[in-house]
Structure 1
């Protein structure tokens, strides 16, 4: 995903980083700084040759009776009858291999169950004191002990984007993690990729102003006007900051980062008209929205998504639970795929986060009933390589190819069957989950004393 360069905000950003007379250097734009560095360290790899599986490589390819060689945490070779260089050999005949599943929309660690089932105050999913929480970083709220991470891992998920909630219009930064055992979220955090950001339109943010005493929009038109003014204010701030007239403002710095193309927007949006309105704002201020999340009416405006290079992150059968989700269709993913839109599945819940391949299967089945056939080689892209592109990780994960990180899953059968299980999950070439020895796998503190784990 390239960057669109446009507007005075970009000029101001360039000034912020430009050399000053006499060789001095102004401060690097704050949005490029990372105050919370990753502490994730890949474990010692488990070199192996997986032999004789049906392979879906995530790039549209399929190999029946194929092999995958993993060494040093990377994929070395994918093909048939590969030579074994002296590593452990796994008999994968009758089973399937895919890239690790990627969930681009999760609230794991911030809407932790069962705590939030007991008391909603246990949720840290969003900062709702203001409609503009652009200065917040969701990773500072993530509880790494949430059992949802373990459950996702056991279901073949190897990468998760944790997003803030959708009550604020500007909800703040996301974080990308590996679902591995760690004391803090920074022991799970992926260091690479693109910095994500959550924005929202429609019912959720407009209800903010209606339920609060302080200032905030109460209608769809108010939400859009608030967005435009916030970006205009950020542009003015950029010029004044470049001239040394104002101090730093974390909210406006984040919006400058969006307009500069350094921060990628994940937009919570349902109705076709809302999607079109926010895409217009993106054009006005010279940035691209990475993906429309939920997007239940995206099937009505595929041309707008194609033109803007924006993906759709969708469900298979969430509908009718709110007014703006009334006109959803179960075949949305295959309809968008046929229209040439980048499409992916997402969860928005710890339950669906364990079943993303089944979500893809349900969507494809709905498409089949209206005459749209979607091959497994395409379906797997909805949960692997397309999400990797959104996260800026498409040269590292989401595809089974030499040089990529060995994030992969050995399934007991067809990954789009409800009867199939993740037998073996590798993250960075190390076994993170082995269904044959579940008792040896790490367990969250929340699981202790609760009887059977899985």
Structure 2
């Protein structure tokens, strides 16, 4: 088995998790008007670690037996047959599996933390069917014990979304599964925001039970159409105006989607 110096995948061993993802934009390029909520995440310093005698699933279909993994400066730098390094901390996993870290692309951890109590169930702003102005990150409880359970199951990164009560529920955020007092300390640097939309029965159920729109699929579609028409009108007025328009958090989010800045 040869040493591969360009192994591109994330591996997890016990509670040691490292994530390597390339993002197309830096935080400073994302929405200058929202600089207050930039990521403050910084990886902890780590010693050189050599993991030996592992069964490795690479994530591309390959399975390596009795492989070693070398990690330097929080990155995987080699995998395969690696000579013992006297300067490295050696961990013999004795045939245990090492797999790529799991990225949960649809999570409500933090906004619906455990235990499930009404006082901290903050995932749905179910007061209006269109709420693009709210951000999931502002509801995340960073001490949610579900984070630790998810990490034990191999989840190293997760994308937190608002719930599905609304047609447009607000912004989603990508977080690293690390300990932090603030949500900014968990935010994945440079990861774009997303928009949560629920296109089915949940909005009809939530608002139809209150005898208000939307209670049918046609009202769902009408709600989406009106929201995007309003966003287009906002963008047009902003382009034509010689003065900076009054900020509108809902329209900033929707226009960000139309510009391709928010996914």
Aligned to 1:164: 162
Query: Which is further off, 28-37 or 45-54?
Result: 28-37
RMSD of aligned alpha carbons: 2.2
- Equivalenced residue count is 232
Match of 2:241 among 240, 244, 254: 244
| Larger helix percent | 1
Q: Relative to structure 1, is the Cα distance of residues 259 and 59 closer, same or farther in structure 2, using a 3 angstrom cutoff?
A: farther
Aligned to 1:327: none
User: C-alpha separation between the residues in 2 aligned to 1:101 and 1:175?
Assistant: 16
User: C-alpha separation between the residues in 1 aligned to 2:58 and 2:121?
Assistant: 37
1:254 aligns with 2:253: yes
- Residue 30 of structure 2 contacts residue 261 of structure 2 at CA under 8 Å; is this kept in 1? no
In structure 2, the gaps of 5 or more residues are 1-28
Secondary structure, aligned partner of 1:60: coil
TM-score by length of 1: 0.48
Aligned to 1:64: 65
Q: Which one has more relative contact order, counting CA pairs under 8 Å at least 6 apart?
A: 1
Aligned to 1:446: none
Could you give the per-residue CA deviations for residues 329-385 of structure 1, whole angstroms, max 9, x where no partner exists?
xxxxxxxxxxxxxxxxxxxxxxxxxxxxxxxxxxxxxxxxxxxxxxxxxxxxxxxxx
Q: Relative to structure 1, is the Cα distance of residues 32 and 170 closer, same or farther in structure 2, using a 3 angstrom cutoff?
A: farther
Aligned to 1:315: none
Could you give the per-residue CA deviations for residues 158-178 of structure 1, whole angstroms, max 9, x where no partner exists?
111111101011111112222
Aligned to 2:83: 83
Aligned to 1:204: 202
In the TM superposition, what is the alpha-carbon distance from 1:97 to its structure 2 partner?
1.0
Aligned pairs (5 A) from 1:292-311: none
Secondary structure, aligned partner of 2:148: helix
In the TM superposition, what is the alpha-carbon distance from 1:192 to its structure 2 partner?
2.6
User: C-alpha separation between the residues in 2 aligned to 1:29 and 1:62?
Assistant: 39
Aligned to 1:185: 183
Secondary structure, aligned partner of 2:219: helix
TM-score by length of 2: 0.80
In structure 1, the gaps of 5 or more residues are 1-27, 265-454
Could you give the per-residue CA deviations for residues 128-150 of structure 1, whole angstroms, max 9, x where no partner exists?
11111101111111111111111
Query: Which is further off, 68-77 or 191-200?
Result: 191-200
User: C-alpha separation between the residues in 2 aligned to 1:206 and 1:240?
Assistant: 32
Secondary structure, aligned partner of 2:221: helix
In the TM superposition, what is the alpha-carbon distance from 1:75 to its structure 2 partner?
0.9
User: C-alpha separation between the residues in 2 aligned to 1:195 and 1:204?
Assistant: 23
User: C-alpha separation between the residues in 1 aligned to 2:104 and 2:30?
Assistant: 30
Aligned to 1:114: 115
Secondary structure, aligned partner of 1:247: coil
